Amino acid sequence: MPGINMWAVFRAQLHASIYWYKNNKWLAVTMFFWPYLMILVLVGLGSIMGSFELYTERMNLSSPGFYLISASAIAMTSVGIIDGVAGFALYNRWLGTLNYIILSPIRESKLFIAAGLPDSLLSALVTIVAVMPAAIYVEGLLGSLKLLIILAFMLAGMIPLIGLSVLAASALLVVKEESNIINSIVPFILLVSGVFYPVTVLPRILQVVSLAVPTRYVVDAAKMVSTFSTPSGAALMLLLGMLALLGIIYNTIAGVAIMRAEKAVKMRGVD
């Protein structure tokens, strides 16, 4: 069938997402508050238990305010990306439309990426817009420039994260449960990425796992730009290299997994 390609799916999903936000204005508004709420919970809890100065010292940050702003933005964007890609499969399964989607003349690997991208991009952009005033307040115009560097890392981190999400979506297709079995992926990824703390505080096994998690490198970049007024270009490039490597690995595995899942589902149908 002509006309159904990745671009068509992307445009359709973008259209659907925009209308979803228009019809759920309250939820759209709360997206602007979530990063601040995360900071409030952390700083509120931490200040009752100890002191913010100690946190700054232990994290080795010159601009802790900016770091917390960017870390919260990264956390929210990671939620948006995984929900956007893997949530697409789950949502359509609930609606009973997954059967038709799977039978549409476009490969599932392309479909899930194209359908997940609008929400992923929207979530990254909305989060950055939401935290921009705070970044400018904390660091002035330099803060907005640093935030753009973080955005670039978030977009680079999106590539392996989409691969990971497609893997999760493949699992959703195969597992005979129509409920949400992927909710815990997001907090697990954030936990091992050391989003509000150094990875070294984690048990050894989780430190090893964190090496394979893309968000860790985005968080590392945020730490770097929050520690130095001019972060080392070589170090940032190294982080980008790791994201590229993980992008290749996860997307290759995801491509194989989704093909197998598609085959299995077409053989036995969606439960």
Partner 1 sequence: MSSLKAIIYLHSLRTWRYKYSFINGAINVGLWIAIFILGALLFVPAEELPMTAPYIFWGIILWNVLSSSVWSVGGWTQFFLSLGMYEEHKLANTSVLKVISGRSITVLMDIVLITPVMYFLVTQITGGKVIFAVSPLYILMGFLGMFLMSLSYGLSLSALSLRMGVPGTLLDISNFFLLVMGGIAVPVESLPGPAKLLAIAIPFSHPAEIVRYGATGNPTYIPLHIELMIMWIYTAALLLLAYFLFRYVEDKYLRLYGPRAVGRM
Residue whose tokens read 């990824």: 189
Taking CB under 8 A as the criterion, which residues in 173-192 touch partner 1? Answer: 175, 177, 179-184, 187-188, 190-191
Asked if 197 touches partner 1 (CB under 8 A), the answer is yes
Is 26 a binding residue for partner 1 by CB under 8 A? The answer is: yes
Q: Which is nearer to partner 1, 175 or 256 (by Cβ)?
A: 175
- Closest CB 225 distance from partner 1, rounded Å: 19
Shortest reach from residue 214's CB to partner 1, in Å: 17
- Per CB under 8 A, the list member of 3, 105, 203, 233 interacting with partner 1 is 203
Quick one: which segment of 123-131, 154-162, 195-203, 220-228 binds partner 1 (CB under 8 A)? Answer: 195-203
Query: How many CB atoms are closer than 10 A to CB 28?
Result: 15
Stretch that binds partner 1, among 45-53, 80-88, 101-109, 253-261 (CB under 8 A): 45-53
Distance in Å, CB of 29 to partner 1, minimum: 9
Q: Is there a contact between 117 and 10 (Cβ–Cβ < 8 Å)?
A: yes
Burial (0-12, 13-18, 19+ Cβ within 10 Å), 202: middle
Q: Name the residue among 145, 166, 146, 195 with its Cα closest to residue 41.
A: 195
Q: Does 66 bind partner 1 (CB under 8 A)?
A: no
Q: Characterize 108-143 residue by residue with b for buried, 16 or more Cβ atoms within 10 angstroms of its Cβ, and e for exposed.
A: bbbbbbbbbbbbbbbbbebbbebbbebbeebbeebb
- Enumerate residues 6+ apart whose C-beta is below 8 A from 1: 105
Binding site for partner 1 (CB under 8 A): 26-27, 30, 37-38, 41-42, 44-52, 54-55, 58-59, 75, 175, 177, 179-184, 187-188, 190-191, 195-197, 201-203
